[in-house]
Amino acid sequence: MKTLTVQEAQSQLGRLIAEANTGALIVLTDGGQKVTLQPGAVLDVEEDTPELEGEILKAIDGPYTPYSVEEMRGIVERIIREEKRG
C-alpha cells in the first residue's frame, strides 16, 4: 500500500493512476480525509445506469432553496455585464 498526501500526489498523478490500474493500493490523504485510487469503469452518461439514476435522484430530492427575486436580478445583471465585456 502506498500513502501520499494530495500535495505529494499532484505531480505524479498519472503514474499513480497507472499503478492503481495494475492493482496497487494507492491512498491519498488530505488532513483527516482519505480516498483510495482504484480501477473502475467510467460512468457513461449516455447509458441509463443505476449509478446515474441515483445521482439524478439525489439532485432532485436534495436540499435546495429557490433563488429570490433579488438573487435572480443580480445573476441577470452579472451576465449582462460579462457579455458587454466579452
Q: What CATH number is given to the structural domain containing 32?
A: 3.40.1620.10
Do 47 and 86 share a domain, yes or no? yes
Coil vs helix vs strand at 27? strand
The Cα 83–Cα 45 span in angstroms is 31
Do 46 and 80 share a domain, yes or no? yes
Instruction: Note the pTM of the prediction, 2 decimals.
Output: 0.48
Do 84 and 46 share a domain, yes or no? yes
pLDDT, tens only, 51-60 = 778 888 888 8
The Cα 28–Cα 2 span in angstroms is 9
Range of the domain at 15: 1-40
Number of domains in the chain: 2
Do 53 and 36 share a domain, yes or no? no
Position 32: which residue type?
Answer: G
Q: What is the pLDDT of residue 63?
A: 76
Do 35 and 50 share a domain, yes or no? no
Q: Which three cell numbers stand for residue 33?
A: 480525509
